[in-house]
Chain A
Amino acid sequence: MNHSIFYIVIVVLMFTACERQEDVDLKVPYKRKLVASVFIGAGDSLVRATLSYTTPVFGAPPAIDIRHANAATGVMQYRGMQTGFVYDSIGHEHQAIISPYSAVAGEAYQFVFTDDLGSVRGTTVIPQPVDLTIQLRFDSTQTPDFPVYVADLTYSLQSAVSSYIKLLPVLMLDDSFSLVPMVLETFNPMVLMRPGESVTSRFVASASLNGLHGLNLRCLIITCDEAYAKHYNATQTVDLGTVLPGSEPTQFYSNMSNGIGVVASYNICGEQVFQLK
Chain B
Amino acid sequence: MGDRPLKTIKNILNGLTIPDLITVCKNYGLHGYSNQVKDDIIALIVENVKNPHVKESIKAIIPANGTTALILKFISDHDNELSYLRLKEYLLQYRTLSTFRGNFNKMIENRVLFEIKGDNDSTVLIPKEFTDLVTRIIDANVEPEEIKAISSLKGSSRDFGLPLTPTCNGCSYVDKSWIQKKIQESPGMRDYPGCNLYKTYNGYDWVCNHFTIESVSKEPLVEKRKEKQVNLEDFTIAAVASGVVASQKSLDMDANESLINEIQDTATLNILRHTLDKLQIPYLVKDISSWNNAKSFLRDLSMDQLETVYKSVFLIPSFSAFGTLANLTEALETQGFDFKKKDIRTWTLASEYLEAYSCDDLARLYKEMMIVAVLKYAEKFGDLGTLEAIFSEEFKNPMILPSIQDARIQLANLSLDELTLARNEMEDRWLDHMLEAEPIEEESEEESKEESQVTEGSSTEDVIEPISDISEDSQGLARTSNIKEQIDEIINLTLSHKALIKNIQHESTCVMHLIWAIQQAYPDYINEVQIPGSDDIADIVLPSIDLAIEAKFISKLKLGGVSNAKARQIEKLGRGACLSYLSKYKYALLIIFSDSTDYIRSVAHLDVHQDRNIFVRGIDWNKLVD
Partners in one complex: no
Residues of A participating in the B interface, judged by any CB pair closer than 8 Å? none
Residues of B participating in the A interface, judged by any CB pair closer than 8 Å? none
